[in-house]
Amino acid sequence: MEVHVELQTASKMFCACAADHFQVAANAHICPVCTGQPGALPVINGRA
Protein backbone atom coordinates (compact mmCIF):
# COMPACT_ATOMS: atom_id res chain seq x y z
CA MET A 1 0.00 0.00 0.00
CA GLU A 2 1.29 3.45 -0.87
CA VAL A 3 -0.03 6.49 0.97
CA HIS A 4 0.49 10.14 0.02
CA VAL A 5 -0.12 12.75 2.70
CA GLU A 6 0.40 16.49 2.82
CA LEU A 7 1.65 17.64 6.21
CA GLN A 8 0.71 21.02 7.67
CA THR A 9 4.28 22.22 8.28
CA ALA A 10 5.88 25.63 7.76
CA SER A 11 9.03 24.17 6.20
CA LYS A 12 10.00 21.08 4.26
CA MET A 13 11.07 17.90 6.04
CA PHE A 14 14.68 17.72 4.85
CA CYS A 15 15.61 21.41 4.42
CA ALA A 16 14.65 24.88 5.65
CA CYS A 17 12.76 25.91 2.50
CA ALA A 18 9.20 27.10 3.01
CA ALA A 19 6.51 24.49 2.42
CA ASP A 20 3.89 27.00 1.20
CA HIS A 21 3.67 26.09 -2.48
CA PHE A 22 0.10 27.19 -3.24
CA GLN A 23 0.57 30.97 -3.19
CA VAL A 24 3.92 31.29 -5.02
CA ALA A 25 5.35 30.77 -8.48
CA ALA A 26 6.74 27.40 -9.50
CA ASN A 27 10.21 26.56 -8.16
CA ALA A 28 10.21 29.53 -5.77
CA HIS A 29 11.09 27.56 -2.62
CA ILE A 30 13.89 25.23 -3.68
CA CYS A 31 17.49 24.60 -2.66
CA PRO A 32 20.26 22.10 -3.53
CA VAL A 33 18.73 19.54 -1.14
CA CYS A 34 15.26 19.89 -2.71
CA THR A 35 16.61 19.32 -6.20
CA GLY A 36 18.93 16.47 -5.20
CA GLN A 37 22.17 18.14 -6.27
CA PRO A 38 25.40 16.14 -5.87
CA GLY A 39 27.01 16.76 -2.49
CA ALA A 40 23.84 18.09 -0.85
CA LEU A 41 23.13 15.90 2.16
CA PRO A 42 19.54 15.88 3.42
CA VAL A 43 19.16 16.10 7.19
CA ILE A 44 15.84 15.80 9.02
CA ASN A 45 14.55 19.27 9.83
CA GLY A 46 13.53 19.12 13.50
CA ARG A 47 11.56 22.37 13.21
CA ALA A 48 9.35 20.97 10.44
Q: What is the pTM of this model?
A: 0.64
Q: Are 29 and 37 in contact (CB under 8 A)?
A: no
State how far the Cα of 26 lies from the Cα of 48, in Å rounded to an integer.
21
Q: Render each residue's pLDDT in the chain as its tens digit; 48 residues.
A: 999 988 888 888 888 888 887 888 988 889 999 899 999 988 888 877
Domain residue limits, the chain: 1-48
State how far the Cα of 7 lies from the Cα of 1, in Å rounded to an integer.
19
Q: What is the pLDDT of residue 4?
A: 93
Among 21, 23, 25, 20, smallest CA distance to 10 is for 20
Q: Are 42 and 35 in contact (CB under 8 A)?
A: no
Q: What is the pLDDT of residue 38?
A: 94
